[in-house]
Homo-oligomer: A and B are copies of this chain.
C-alpha cells in the first residue's frame, strides 16, 4: 500500500476510471468505526462541533449556488444545500432533546471552524465546488465513523443524517463539465485538492478526545489512511491526481 505521504503528495497521473465510485465512503467509515470509538468526545462536544460544522458546509455550498453560472447548476446545488441544512436542523433537535443548549454547545468550535472555512473557501466557483466536495466528503466520513462511540441509538440517528451523498452527485457533475473543458483548470484544482486535505485532516484530528495526550499513532494511522483513500477516490472521480 502506498505510504500516507505518497498518497497525499504523489503526482503519478491517474487515469479516470470509466465507472467511477463517486460515493467512496464505506471502507473509510468501517475502519473509522472500529478504531475511533474510544476517542469519540462526549455527546455535547460531538454534537456541538458537528452542528457548527454543518453550518460551515452550508456556507460553502450556498457560496457555490451564488457563484454558479447556470440556472441548472443553481437549482441542483440548492438541493445539496438543503440536505446539509436538514442535517444541521436535525443536530440542533438532538441537542435540544438531550437538554443541551445548542448555541452553547456550538460556540467553542466557532473560531476554529470559521478559520477553517476562510482558509478553504476557494477563490472562485470551481475551487469552491472542490471544497464542498472534498471537505464535505472527508468530514462526514470522519464524523460518521466517530458516531460509533456515541450511545447506540443516537449514533445510528447521526449516521443516518450524515448520509448526504446526493449532494455529491451535483458537485461531481458540475466539476466534470468544468474540468473536461480545461486542462489548466484540472491542474489548478488538483493543487487545490492537495492543499484542502491537509487543512481538513487537522480539523478532524482536533476532534479526537485524547485526554491531553497525543492520540496513539498506531490507532489513528489506519483511520487516516482509509480517509485519504476515500479522498483519493473522490479525486479520481473528477479525473484529478490526488
Given contacts A78-B58, A78-B88, A86-B82, whether A110 and B71 have CB atoms under 8 Å apart is yes
A51 to B51, CA, bound (A): 29
Which of A72, A74, A92 has the largest count of B CB atoms less than 10 A from its CB? A74
Interface residues of A in 105-128 (CB under 8 A from B): 106-107, 110
Which of A52, A66, A89 has the largest count of B CB atoms less than 10 A from its CB? A66
Task: Judge whether A169 is part of the interface by a CB distance below 8 angstroms.
Answer: no
Contact of A78 among B74, B85, B107 (CB under 8 A): B85
A110 CB contacts on chain B under 8 angstroms: 71
Contact with B along A49-68 (1 / 0, CB 8 A): 00110010011001101100
Q: How many copies does the complex hold?
A: 2
Q: A66 touching B62 by the CB < 8 A rule?
A: yes
Range, interface on chain A: 20 to 34
- A86 CB, nearest partner CB in chain B, Å: 7
Closest B residue, CB atoms, query A110:
B71
A55 CB contacts on chain B under 8 angstroms: 65, 74-75, 78
Contact of A81 among B52, B74, B85 (CB under 8 A): B85
Task: Judge whether A103 is part of the interface by a CB distance below 8 angstroms.
Answer: yes
A88 CB contacts on chain B under 8 angstroms: 75, 78
- A190 CB, nearest partner CB in chain B, Å: 27
Task: Judge whether A79 is part of the interface by a CB distance below 8 angstroms.
Answer: yes
Task: Judge whether A102 is part of the interface by a CB distance below 8 angstroms.
Answer: yes
A59 CB contacts on chain B under 8 angstroms: 62, 65-66
Q: B75 touching A106 by the CB < 8 A rule?
A: yes
